Amino acid sequence: MSEEFKVEIVNPEKSFLTKDDATEVVVPAFEGEMGILKDHISIISFLKPGVVKVYSKSDENKYFVEDGIVEFKDNSLSILTSSIYNVSDLDRNKIEQILKDAEKESTEENIDDQKKYLINQKIETLRSLQSN
């Protein structure tokens, strides 16, 4: 039996990625990283800023997302996100820029705890990407 399932990542503008042969996907779910294999139970969850890793037999891809929703059902995984970048496309300048925006946002007053948590997550992820 094959261990492969379908992955689809869409953003509002277009369908970002479709893959039929993913073997494992790791998503930064709201309450911690979550690995999804074939025949996972149906689940709906949120994403926090982080890195989505899509593994297949032949390769692996990493994407940086800022937010999103993930749905897994009948061995097809859909990720809806409003902003996504392929990690290999992100160069230092780009990361720097997003990081700067995020840092500016985090210094703003009157943001609630949840938002603060998300922004800190984002900064953390970006920093770790930077150091790689």
Partner 1 sequence: MASLDDLKKRISSVKSTQKITKAMKMVAAAKLRRAQENAEKGRPYSEKMNNIILNLSNGISDKENAPKLLAGTGEEKTHLCVVMTSDRGLCGGFNTNIIKKAKQYFQKILKENKILKIITVGSKGYDQLKRQYKNNIVEKISFKDSKNINYFDADKVGKIIIDRFEKKEFDVCAIFYNQFKNVITQIPQEQQIIPLKSNEEKDVNSESSYEFEPEEDEILSNLLPKNISTQIFKAMLENSASEQGSRMSAMDNATRNAGEMVEKLTIQYNRSRQAAITKELIEIISGAESL
Q: Which residues bind partner 1 (CB under 8 A)?
A: 8, 10-15, 29-31, 34, 41-46, 69, 71, 73-74, 78, 80, 82
Residue 36 CB, nearest distance to partner 1 (Å)?
12
Helix/strand/coil (H, E, C) string of 17-84?
EEEEEEEEEEEEECCEEEEECCCCCCEEEEECCEEEEEEECCCEEEEEECCEEEEEECCEEEEECCCE
Query: Which CB sits closer to partner 1, 48 or 54?
Result: 48
Query: Which CB sits closer to partner 1, 46 or 55?
Result: 46
Query: Which CB sits closer to partner 1, 34 or 87?
Result: 34
Which residues on adjacent β-strands are paired with residue 85?
64
